[in-house]
Amino acid sequence: MNISKKLLLIVVLTCLEVSITVFSAFEIAKGAQFHQLNFLHLKYINQLDKAVDKILPNTQINLAAIEANILAIRQQPMNCLKAANALNKLVMNIIDTRHALTLCKQDVKRANTTLQSVNDYKNDKINRAEFLFILNHALDEFNDNSEQFEGPITKTVSFIFVTFIPLVIVISIFNVIYISYLSRTISSSIRNLTTLLSSKSNKTDLEDNFSKSTPDELKELISAAKKRIENDLLNIESSKELKAIVSSQTDSLQLANDELAQFAYRASHDLKAPLSAVKSLSRFIVKDIESNDTAEAISNAKTITKQMEKLESLVVDILQLAKADIGNEETSPINFEQLIVDVKERLYWLMQDIPCQLEIHINLEVEIISDKVRFTQIIENLVSNGLKYYDKNKVSPLVKLDISNNENSIIIVVTDNGIGIPKPFQAQVYGMFKRFNPELCSGSGLGLSIVKKHVEYFKGEITFQSSEQGTIFKIIIALDKL
Ligand SMILES: Nc1ncnc2c1ncn2[C@@H]1O[C@H](COP(=O)(O)OP(=O)(O)OP(=O)(O)O)[C@@H](O)[C@H]1O
Ligand SMILES: [Mg+2]
């Protein structure tokens, strides 16, 4: 039974106890009242008796006094009948003392007939002897009734004493014992809970102990408090997470902003160089033509073409870099053999002038369905770097491209035995427009930035190792991210 039910039982028992006590008190008081009325009844009977005794032969009877006495005698049973309510009648029925009320009714009836006789005597309907006989007979009956009335009233009061008072005492004792038991249980549970909560036991131990020794209501209280605390913590946690997200996004926005500013500066700087060169060269050409120096004019025009090619390739690279950031939903199965043929064709200008060999190994067990342009740019940039930065001092300069897969990923490895990236510059290798050997070969310094952006787009990983022996770039991209 939970605490509220136990408290309800105590309240019900206390109400019962109070009702019984009040009822008993009223019943006992009523018993005393009935005794008092009977005592008065006897007094008036006695008065009537004396008045009748005083009637001497041939003297006139004081009818008014006798009538007043009978009326007084009649009043007590009438009061008794008025005082007895339904509950008294029920109790009297149960303990078989109802005839006390019957005696009252008989008394009233006898008093009424005696009063009638007084009238009859006054009107000479009955003679003196008959009247005196009726009076004496009535006195006998009043006396008998009074004597008999005491018994049931005493029995009723005793019954109340014997039955209800012990019942009240038993309920009171029960209540006292039960209330002290309950308060001990509650206070010991609260003490246990306080000890448990302040102990260092872990969550499961705590929950075990709660279920063993804690009343249901306290368990509910604890679990409501727990939920509230968890919710509050969750709110705190989510607001912390929100703050972290906002701050990380602010950081990356700041980074992107810086990158953009740097990009704009470097791009315009690199675009400006060939444009200025072309401007000066075209002025020279005009002068050459004016002085009829056609050979010089042709040579300057060729230089212009070279500068324009540089400019074009720079613009193409910038475009590629911009596109690398934009998502492209166009995917198709990639034929890597064909892709390599295309790359080789585009790098022909580079390969024809250098003694560097290109070795290709394709070992794919799964069909790669993805954005072909991104893979082409990744491979072309890494391979072109290997070729461009080959080491003249090595006997057989070599660039090796391996494309394979394992269970989860596609792996692209480009290995060369070229000049390597000097240690101090390795940290900046993916930076835009960063070139560490501009004297060796042309380029815009955007190739590796483009590669990195494509790998990031696929949520893949790019790493490299570089020394004077050469450089290895390795890319791993999960197949489910392609
Ligand atoms: N395999 C490599 N071996 C040696 N140095 C390398 C290698 N790859 C890159 N580098 C160095 O890193 C720099 C940046 O490379 P990146 O590909 O970004 O630019 P780039 O090749 O100079 O120009 P492009 O935009 O035409 O690719 C290069 O200029 C070069 O100094
Ligand atoms: Mg490059």
222-234 pLDDT, tens digit each: 788 888 988 998 8
Cα-based distances in Å from 79 to 40, 91, 115, 145: 11, 19, 18, 15
What is residue 424's predicted lDDT score, i.e. its pLDDT?
94
The CA 332 to ligand 1 mean position distance, Å, reads 29
Given pLDDT bands bounded at 50, 70 and 90, which one contains residue 242? very high
What phi, psi does 254 have (nearest 5°)? -60, -45
Test site for ligand 1: of 388, 452, 473, most ligand atoms within 8 A of the Cβ: 388
Strand 470-478, strand 409-416: pairing: antiparallel
The reply to whether 28 and 176 lie within a common domain is yes
CB-proximal residues (5 Å) to ion ligand 2: 385, 447
Test site for ligand 1: of 416, 435, 463, 473, most ligand atoms within 8 A of the Cβ: 435
The CA 282 to ligand 2 mean position distance, Å, reads 30
Q: Among 285, 300, 326, give the residue marking a domain's end.
A: 326
What is residue 219's predicted lDDT score, i.e. its pLDDT?
76
Q: pLDDT tens digits for 142-167?
A: 999 999 998 998 888 888 888 888 88
Q: Among 126, 158, 192, give the residue marking a domain's end.
A: 192
What is residue 329's predicted lDDT score, i.e. its pLDDT?
67
The reply to whether 365 and 284 lie within a common domain is no
Domain of 128 in residue numbering reads as 3-192
What is residue 427's predicted lDDT score, i.e. its pLDDT?
95
Distance, in Å, from the CA atom of 458 to the CA atom of 452, rounded to the nearest integer, reads: 10
Weakest mean pLDDT among 208-217, 283-292, 326-335: 208-217
The CA 476 to ligand 2 mean position distance, Å, reads 20
Q: What is the mean pLDDT of residues 39-63?
A: 89
Residue located nearest, by CA, to atom 4 of ligand 1:
420
Cα-based distances in Å from 450 to 346, 378, 431, 445: 17, 8, 10, 10
Cα-based distances in Å from 152 to 31, 39, 145, 340: 10, 15, 12, 126
Q: What is the mean pLDDT of residues 338-363?
A: 91
The overall average pLDDT reported for the chain is: 88
CATH of the domain at 402: 3.30.565.10
The CA 35 to ligand 1 mean position distance, Å, reads 127
The reply to whether 334 and 310 lie within a common domain is no
pLDDT at 220 over 90: no
Cα-based distances in Å from 445 to 267, 304, 318: 10, 21, 10
Q: pLDDT tens digits for 252-311?
A: 999 888 877 777 777 776 777 778 888 888 999 999 999 998 899 999 999 899 888 878
The reply to whether 378 and 474 lie within a common domain is yes
pLDDT at 208 over 70: no
What is residue 221's predicted lDDT score, i.e. its pLDDT?
80
pLDDT at 251 over 80: yes
Q: pLDDT tens digits for 416-432?
A: 999 999 999 999 999 98
- Residue 181 forms part of a structural domain: yes
Q: pLDDT tens digits for 128-144?
A: 989 999 999 999 999 99
Given pLDDT bands bounded at 50, 70 and 90, which one contains residue 313? confident
The CA 451 to ligand 2 mean position distance, Å, reads 9
Weakest mean pLDDT among 211-215, 258-262, 406-410: 211-215
CATH of the domain at 219: 1.10.287
The reply to whether 177 and 266 lie within a common domain is no
- Which ligand 1 atom lies nearest to the CA of residue 418? 3
Bridge partners (DSSP) listed for residue 362: 403
Half-sphere exposure of 174 (CA within 13 A, CB side): 15
- Residue 36 forms part of a structural domain: yes
Q: Among 326, 347, 375, give the residue marking a domain's end.
A: 326
- Residue 205 forms part of a structural domain: no
Structure token pair of residue 397:
């300069």
What phi, psi does 293 have (nearest 5°)? -95, 80
The reply to whether 259 and 336 lie within a common domain is no
What is residue 222's predicted lDDT score, i.e. its pLDDT?
79
What is residue 5's predicted lDDT score, i.e. its pLDDT?
81
- Residue 204 forms part of a structural domain: no
- 400 close to 416: Cβ distance less than 8 angstroms: yes
Given pLDDT bands bounded at 50, 70 and 90, which one contains residue 444? confident
Query: How many CB atoms are located within 10 Å of the residue 176 CB?
Result: 10
pLDDT at 206 over 70: no
Residue located nearest, by CA, to atom 27 of ligand 1:
447
- Residue 201 forms part of a structural domain: no
Distance, in Å, from the CA atom of 405 to the CA atom of 402, rounded to the nearest integer, reads: 10
The CA 387 to ligand 2 mean position distance, Å, reads 9
The reply to whether 477 and 390 lie within a common domain is yes
- Which ligand 1 atom lies nearest to the CA of residue 470? 3
- 388 close to 435: Cβ distance less than 8 angstroms: no
What is residue 335's predicted lDDT score, i.e. its pLDDT?
95
Given pLDDT bands bounded at 50, 70 and 90, which one contains residue 1? low
The reply to whether 47 and 88 lie within a common domain is yes
Residue located nearest, by CA, to atom 20 of ligand 1:
445
- Residue 105 forms part of a structural domain: yes
Three-class secondary structure of residue 410 per DSSP? strand
What is the DSSP code string of 25-74?
Answer: HHHHHHHHHHHHHHHHHHHHHHHHHHHHHT--TTSPP-HHHHHHHHHHHH
- Which ligand 1 atom lies nearest to the CA of residue 317? 25
The bound ligand whose nearest atom lies closest to the alpha carbon of 421 is: 1
The reply to whether 332 and 322 lie within a common domain is no
The reply to whether 228 and 254 lie within a common domain is yes
- Which ligand 1 atom lies nearest to the CA of residue 414? 1
- 347 close to 379: Cβ distance less than 8 angstroms: no
- Residue 397 forms part of a structural domain: yes
Given pLDDT bands bounded at 50, 70 and 90, which one contains residue 451? very high
The reply to whether 456 and 477 lie within a common domain is yes
The CA 101 to ligand 2 mean position distance, Å, reads 126
What is residue 207's predicted lDDT score, i.e. its pLDDT?
66
Structure token pair of residue 179:
């209330």
Number of domains in the chain: 3
Ligand 1 neighbours by CB, cut-off 6 Å: 317, 381, 385-386, 388-389, 416, 418-421, 429, 434-437, 443-448, 471
pLDDT at 448 over 70: yes
Distance, in Å, from the CA atom of 288 to the CA atom of 282, rounded to the nearest integer, reads: 10
Distance, in Å, from the CA atom of 89 to the CA atom of 81, rounded to the nearest integer, reads: 10
What is residue 214's predicted lDDT score, i.e. its pLDDT?
67
The CA 137 to ligand 2 mean position distance, Å, reads 147
- Higher pLDDT residue, 336 or 214? 336
pLDDT at 204 over 80: no
The CA 351 to ligand 1 mean position distance, Å, reads 16
Bridge partners (DSSP) listed for residue 400: 359, 415
Q: CA nearest 381: which of 422, 419, 412? A: 412
Query: How many CB atoms are located within 10 Å of the residue 100 CB?
Result: 24
Given pLDDT bands bounded at 50, 70 and 90, which one contains residue 359? very high
Residue located nearest, by CA, to atom 13 of ligand 1:
435
- Residue 198 forms part of a structural domain: no
Q: Tell me which range, 109-113, 260-264, 312-316, is most confidently predicted by mean pLDDT.
A: 109-113
Query: How many CB atoms are located within 10 Å of the residue 372 CB?
Result: 20
Distance, in Å, from the CA atom of 334 to the CA atom of 372, rounded to the nearest integer, reads: 6
pLDDT at 175 over 80: yes
The reply to whether 96 and 163 lie within a common domain is yes
Weakest mean pLDDT among 82-86, 217-221, 427-431: 217-221
